[in-house]
Amino acid sequence: MTLVEICVDDLAGTLAAESAGADRVELCANLAEGGTTPSFGLIARVLESVTTLGVQVMIRPRGGDFVHSASELSVMLADVRAVRDLATQAPVPVGLVFGVLTEAGGIDIPAMRELIAAAEGVPATCHKAFDAARDLFAAHDALTGLGVVRILTSGGAATAPEGAPVLRELVAREPGGPVILAGGSVRVANVARLVADTGVTEVHLRAQVPGPRGDGGLVTDAALVRGVIAELGATRP
């Protein structure tokens, strides 16, 4: 089957994704900046409210690059521990999403090791910091060695469809390594082709439309989620 993960930034969007049949959400704040750590209150309410949906929580203290200072890392560690404690009581699978790079563009192995240790068994996904790495395959090797379970990536390209050749190579490395979660301009119109071209078993997207207030805000649209699932019907149970 092809697992569908929806990127959301509020409780309403989470529940819309669940009602539409999504498998998992990535919970973030500040999606306009690529996603940052959501509030503790939002995380808690989401975990209290969902019944079938896996929840991946973004741990990222700011937008911009993925090179984090010692003070930023200390905040990330505190956030990881807070989510870890909530995860132990959650009725659904919970994971953490983070990524740290060195100034040279490699995976910051000591920082990542600290974060993974703080998670105490809560599964870790590397977000699209991976796509900013200087050498994707060296980054993949480093993340495999760290025990990261999943990598969110567009194959280093601007969009996942453009990165399909690299995604296909990364999928070939999956045995014994992280699952490849394809994300980046994934749409109803291209998702089936993307899966066919790359062999990915998980896809990630924002399924948002302009909100009803006309103020530029976006809301998660259950119909878009259902549309993606329908396109993947042949690869889902």
Query: For residue range 42-92, what is the model confidence (pLDDT) as tens digits?
Result: 999 999 999 999 999 999 999 999 999 999 999 999 999 999 999 999 999
Q: How many CB atoms lie within 10 A of CB 47?
A: 21
CB 146 within 8 A of CB 113: yes
Confidence of residue 236 (pLDDT cuts 50, 70, 90): low
CB 224 within 8 A of CB 209: yes
Q: What is the pLDDT of residue 85?
A: 97
**Domain range list for the chain:** 3-234
- Give the domain 3-234 fold: TIM Barrel (3.20.20)
Q: What is the pLDDT of residue 216?
A: 77
DSSP 3-state percent helix, strand, coil across the chain (nearest 5): 40, 20, 40
Q: What is the pLDDT of residue 136?
A: 99
* Beta strand extents in the chain (DSSP E only): 3-8, 24-27, 54-58, 94-97, 124-126, 150-153, 179-183, 202-205, 208-210, 218-220
**Looking at the predicted structure, is the pLDDT value of residue 213 above 90?**
no
Question: What is the pTM for the complete model shown?
Answer: 0.96
